[in-house]
Amino acid sequence: MAPRLILRGAHRRRIRELSLAAWPLEACGLLEGQDVDGPRTVVAIHPIPNVDPAPDRRYTIDPEAWLRLEHAARRRGQTIIGVWHSHPHGDPTPSSTDRELAWPGWSYLIAGVTNTGMRDLRCWRIDERGCHEQPIVTEIP
Amino acid sequence: MAEVTLRIPTPLQPYADGNGELRAEAGYVDELLERIGVDHQALVQRIRTRDGQLRPYVNVFVRRTDIRQLQGLETELHDGDEVIVMPSVAGG
């Protein structure tokens, strides 16, 4: 099992809000934090436009928005440690497309949502050996 | 010949021995990738295809402009330029 991901309650609520607002399309964004070997702490959740031509079943992060965010995070002494996105069919496990296009070393936070709410939020590290779940520790607030 | 910095975002850093940036002297983007590829072949393989074209899911920015809007791999570099490689981040 991969090291834990530490998330504030406010981050979890923000992902739920953004995912429900985008439903039935996929919402996506980036995770800002410190790139460390052990447990990773998310310091900010950034929504990024989903520029994929089929946003009902895929997401693509707008590269120019990512570029701006990389610069801003570096100025704050942070980095981009992963991606979050929603699965509008409710299952928060990586799809075959997620597995195919994943970058090893990044954290992939997936919100399983339906029209009635967020069913679950789970996090994964994905590499050539497979998907390894990162337990999420939610801190208050 | 210009002295430039290639900035590498976290997903590509494992292919650059963990470096977040590399410096080199080059006149054009193509030449920069040639020089970087001497020591970091795995990195350049993720930016260019075998026949030397820019991979479709990779964006390269020079002076914050996508080189596809400039002269592509033949975009000229100036002293102090920052060249940034941004791979596609996507899934389903």
Q: Where are the domains of chain B?
A: 2-87
The model's pLDDT over A56-105, given as tens digits with 9 standing for 90+, comes to 999 999 988 988 898 899 899 998 999 999 999 999 999 999 999 898 88
Nearest to A97 by CA among A126, A123, A119, A122: A126
**What 3-state class would DSSP assign to A98?**
helix
Active-site positions of A read: 26
Q: What is the largest CA-CA distance in chain A?
A: 39
Q: Does B84 touch chain A (CB under 8 A)?
A: yes
Fold classification of B2-87 (topology level): Ubiquitin-like (UB roll) (3.10.20)
**Band of the pLDDT at B1, cuts 50, 70, 90?**
confident
Say what the pLDDT of residue A64 is: 84
β-pairing verdict for A130-134 and A107-114: unpaired
Superfamily in which the A5-139 domain is placed by CATH: Cytidine Deaminase, domain 2 (3.40.140.10)
Cβ within 8 Å, pair B84-A67: yes
Residues 10-39 of A with CB under 8 A from B: 26, 30, 35
The model's pLDDT over A13-43, given as tens digits with 9 standing for 90+, comes to 999 999 999 999 999 999 999 877 788 999 9
Mean per-residue pLDDT over chain A, rounded: 93
Q: What is the pTM of this model?
A: 0.85
Say what the pLDDT of residue A37 is: 78
**Where exactly are the structural domains of chain A?**
5-139
